[in-house]
């Protein structure tokens, strides 16, 4: 079966139903209760990142307007826990610590941090081994390193990098039991696929990327972290794979808006070609691919499963139904084999999502993404619109 919808909505127009959806007011108690199902007596803490950890003393960072993410960590989580949520959920602690900002997505965390008194301490001895629940509200994602530490030291946690008011009022206000159900329905419709092919159109060119999945079980990020030591990435709501290999080409939009065309061979980006923008950006990327080839490895393919508004932050926007993302770099936290020690430099050992969405990449069309599974071909997305097949999955058909 090949589910195809040939209608093409205007590129850049959001096509999910979020505008018709209402969200309940944010509740820290409801979020923690749903995500973690806390047990009586568990200890909880908050981690933030700062460019200068001395700013943690007496919460000095609050005097700096630019630290909006860290302010949310203080006002919503630290103060919220201490204002009654801690007692309501039968938990203890609600302490706050800061570590030195890593400067990149999912880079290894430093060994030390600072508490509110300004004292420097070992994160292992004072945080990882002392708290049952760790909430990391940071500028850069810490999901990969914290997941490894969770499994090593036995805690559970959540990473909430890039937190902003839109995320608080929508992506963190949903019922994660419902998110989990929808993600599982989507997962079951894609699991054990042979491969996924994605067709792109950009700057008058077309390109296709083929990602071989080898009939692996699809995984889901669904926001529930109630059992074994693990870390939930919030907001959640995606189905993902770690590709076995990949071939083809795909466009990429760099942070400054430069557009390049990536050539992928044997699962890695091997070369970038300028489409528009700054040639120096492309040259720097190519130099990095030569000096540290594993930085181009495709370590994830993900599809959003939620009806949410765009927040301007990839952490939420990649969870929106109708979007997809591929990621380069480390994949160990997703069940892959690319660990930080395999990079030429540990400063390159990031996991970087490349999001395709009508708001993030309006000049790039995903004309179709399709899955090959059980001898059938299923359209998943066309022009950022979920297919009839996907809609049927989410409706339980």
Tell me: pLDDT of 100 over 70. yes
Higher pLDDT, 9 or 211: 211
**Alpha helices, DSSP H only, in 191-338?**
279-291, 314-317
CB within 8 A of 33, min separation 6: which ones? Answer: 89
Q: pLDDT (tens digit, 9 = 90+) per residue, 267-278?
A: 999 999 999 999
Q: Of the candidates 103, 161, 137, 144, which has an alpha carbon nearest to the alpha carbon of residue 315?
A: 161
Q: Write down the CATH number for the domain with range 28-169.
A: 3.40.50
**Alpha helices, DSSP H only, in the chain?**
28-36, 68-72, 79-80, 86-88, 123, 143-153, 165-169, 176-190, 279-291, 314-317, 388-394
Task: Report the relative pairing of strands 195-202 and 120-122 from DSSP bridges.
Answer: unpaired
- Cβ-contact 353, 381 below 8 angstroms: no
- Cβ-contact 56, 46 below 8 angstroms: no
How many Å apart are CA 244 and CA 298, to the nearest integer?
Answer: 9
- Cβ-contact 121, 96 below 8 angstroms: no
Give the mean pLDDT of the chain. 93
Read off the pTM: 0.92
* Averaged pLDDT for residues 84-95: 96
Question: How big is the CA angle at 311 (ends 356 and 38), to the nearest 5 degrees?
Answer: 110
Q: Of the candidates 376, 370, 395, 371, which has an alpha carbon nearest to the alpha carbon of residue 200?
A: 370
Tell me: pLDDT of 1 over 50. no
Q: pLDDT (tens digit, 9 = 90+) per residue, 296-336?
A: 999 999 999 999 999 999 999 999 999 999 999 998 888 88
Tell me: pLDDT of 5 over 90. no
Tell me: pLDDT of 176 over 90. yes
CB within 8 A of 388, min separation 6: which ones? Answer: 3, 5, 379
Percent of the chain scoring above 70 in pLDDT: 95
CB within 8 A of 287, min separation 6: which ones? Answer: none
How many Å apart are CA 34 and CA 102, to the nearest integer?
Answer: 30
Q: pLDDT (tens digit, 9 = 90+) per residue, 137-174?
A: 999 999 999 999 999 999 999 999 999 999 999 999 99
For the chain, domain boundaries: 28-169, 176-394
Range name among 12-26, 223-237, 371-385 with the lowest pLDDT average: 12-26
* pLDDT for 19: 52
Q: Of the candidates 68, 61, 143, which has an alpha carbon nearest to the alpha carbon of residue 97?
A: 61
Q: pLDDT (tens digit, 9 = 90+) per residue, 50-70?
A: 999 999 999 999 999 999 999
Read off the pLDDT band of 377 (50, 70, 90).
Answer: very high
* pLDDT for 222: 96
Tell me: pLDDT of 366 over 90. yes
């Amino acid at each position: 079966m090949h589910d195809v919808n040939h209608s093409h909505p205007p590129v850049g127009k959001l096509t999910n139903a979020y505008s018709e959806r209402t969200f309940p007011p944010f509740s820290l108690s409801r979020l923690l209760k749903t995500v973690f199902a806390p047990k009586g007596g568990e200890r909880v803490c908050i981690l933030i990142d700062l460019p200068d950890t001395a700013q943690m003393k007496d919460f000095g960072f609050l005097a700096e307007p630019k630290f909006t993410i860290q302010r949310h960590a203080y006002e919503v989580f630290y103060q919220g826990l201490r204002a009654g949520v801690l007692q309501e959920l039968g938990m203890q602690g609600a302490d706050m610590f800061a570590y030195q900002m890593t400067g990149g997505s999912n880079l290894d965390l430093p060994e030390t941090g600072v508490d509110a008194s300004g004292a420097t301490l070992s994160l292992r001895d004072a945080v990882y081994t002392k708290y049952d629940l760790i909430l990391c509200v940071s500028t850069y994602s810490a999901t990969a390193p914290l997941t490894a530490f969770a499994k090593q030291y036995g805690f559970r946690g959540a990473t909430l990098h890039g937190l902003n008011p839109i995320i608080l009022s929508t992506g963190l206000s949903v019922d994660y039991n419902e998110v989990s159900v929808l993600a599982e329905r989507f997962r079951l419709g894609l699991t054990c696929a042979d491969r996924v092919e994605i067709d792109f159109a950009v700057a008058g060119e077309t390109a296709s990327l083929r990602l071989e999945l080898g009939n692996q079980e699809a995984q889901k990020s669904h926001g529930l972290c109630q059992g074994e030591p693990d870390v939930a990435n919030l907001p959640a709501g995606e189905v993902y794979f770690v590709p076995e290999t990949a071939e083809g080409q795909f466009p990429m939009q760099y942070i400054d808006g430069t557009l390049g065309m990536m050539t992928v061979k044997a699962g890695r980006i091997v070369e970038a070609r300028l489409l528009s923008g700054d040639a120096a950006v492309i040259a720097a990327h190519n130099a990095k691919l030569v000096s540290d080839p594993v930085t181009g490895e495709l370590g994830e393919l993900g599809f959003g499963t939620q009806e949410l508004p765009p927040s301007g932050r990839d952490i939420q926007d990649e969870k929106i139904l109708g979007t997809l993302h591929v990621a380069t770099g480390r994949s160990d936290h997703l069940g892959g084999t690319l660990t930080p020690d395999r990079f030429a430099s540990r400063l390159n050992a990031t996991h970087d999502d490349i999001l395709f969405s009508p708001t993030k990449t309006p000049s790039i069309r995903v004309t179709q993404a399709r899955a090959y599974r059980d001898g059938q071909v299923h359209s998943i997305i066309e022009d950022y619109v979920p297919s009839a097949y996907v809609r049927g999955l989410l409706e339980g058909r």
